[in-house]
Structures are given as structure tokens and as C-alpha cells.
Amino acid sequence: MQQGTRMLSDDWLKRYAPYLLAAIALLILLPANHLIPLIDRDEPRFAQATREMIQRGEWIVPYFNNQYRFDKPILIYWMMRAAYAVFGVNEFAARLPSVLSTILFVLVVFHMGSRWFSVRAGFFAAVGLLTCAQVLMHGRSAVADMPMVAMVALAQYALYELMHDEGPRYPRKWFWLFYGALGLGFLAKGPV
């Protein structure tokens, strides 16, 4: 019993929780991601548009069936393109950006909960987030939702640090993180 108590101590959680949360997220989100065909109407469109961008050597203008596709901003296409370069053009690579964005989102929630409440609260908030149906669905989908959600959470965390009563320790770091996350969130799913 004492071993289990020591394992979930605040010091242990502070040190190992990010790794544990990333491992849990990978175990939940990655299995069979390559076996399930692209579904819905959006997944195949994002994946095909990225493929057509690669074929054209295009980095800015997405195409779908040889026509402009300005439905969504460019970040998800860049992320899929990077995954395609490493893993080839397949379902696994198309969904990998959402999986990685979900891991970032979970880690940001852990750090926010740890900072605002306690390390234990941050850990259980992050684990609880991983069990939400929408996170499980969009975290394994080849769509732009999870990159945008991760960037919004990161911007909120940076904004909190900038506005905290005691003053941030590194105001420039939080300033750049705030505006960088907002910019990437805009590139992920902002207005076109």
C-alpha cells in the first residue's frame, strides 16, 4: 500500500505524469489507426488535398479534385504533409497530427491544472480529458479540430501566466507563446 501511495505522490506526479499521460494517450489513440479507412466527409478531403499539394509541389494553396480548397486554413495540410514525408501517404500518417495535437492538449491541461490547483488535480483532469468522447473521436481523426483546440488551450495557459497577480517570471516567453499559439490556432481553423 505504501508503494502505491509513494507512486502517486505529488513529487512523483510532477516528475513522471507528463510521460505517463503521453503514453496513455498513445495507447488510447494509436491502436488500429491505420486499419480504419478514412471516414466521414472531411477526413478523405483533408488527406486527398494534402496528397494533391504534394503532387503539385504546392505549400500554400490546397487543392481537392484539381480545384481550390479554401474551406480550411493551411496548418493541418502542413502537418499531414510532414507526417506523409515520414510515414508515407496512408491513414496512419493522415491521423497522426491529430494524435500529437491531442497529446499536447492533454499536457497543457495537466500543466494548467497543476499550476492553478495541484499536481494531482492536473493529472486527473488530463486523464479525465482523455476519456471524453469528443476527444477520443477527434483525437483520432484526420481533421483540423485537435490542432486548433490544442493551440487555444496553450494560448489560454500563456494568457493566464501573463495576467497572473504575482507577475510572470518570464514575460517575453509567455507573450510569444500566447501570440504564437493564437497564430497557429488561426492557421489551424480560423476564418478563411
Per-residue pLDDT 10s for the chain (192 aa) are 455 455 667 788 888 999 999 999 999 999 888 888 788 888 889 889 899 999 998 888 888 888 888 878 889 999 999 999 999 999 999 999 999 999 999 999 999 999 999 999 999 999 999 999 999 999 999 998 999 999 999 999 999 888 876 655 667 888 899 999 999 999 998 764
Taking the C-alpha atoms of residue 123 and residue 14, their distance in angstroms, rounded to an integer, is 9
Separation between Cα atoms, residue 37 and residue 55, nearest integer Å: 22
Give pLDDT, residue 1: 44
Other C-beta atoms lying within 10 Å of the C-beta of residue 86? 8
CA distances from 151 to 2, 12, 144, 186 (A): 39, 27, 11, 9
| DSSP 3-state of 132 | coil
Q: What is the CA radius of gyration of the chain?
A: 18
pLDDT of residue 32: 84
Q: Which residues pair with 18 in a beta bridge?
A: none
- d(C-alpha 132, C-alpha 129), whole Å: 5
Predicted local confidence at residue 58, as pLDDT:
87
Return d(Cα 169, Cα 188) in angstroms, integer: 29
CA distance 173 to 133: 33
Largest CA distance in the chain: 63
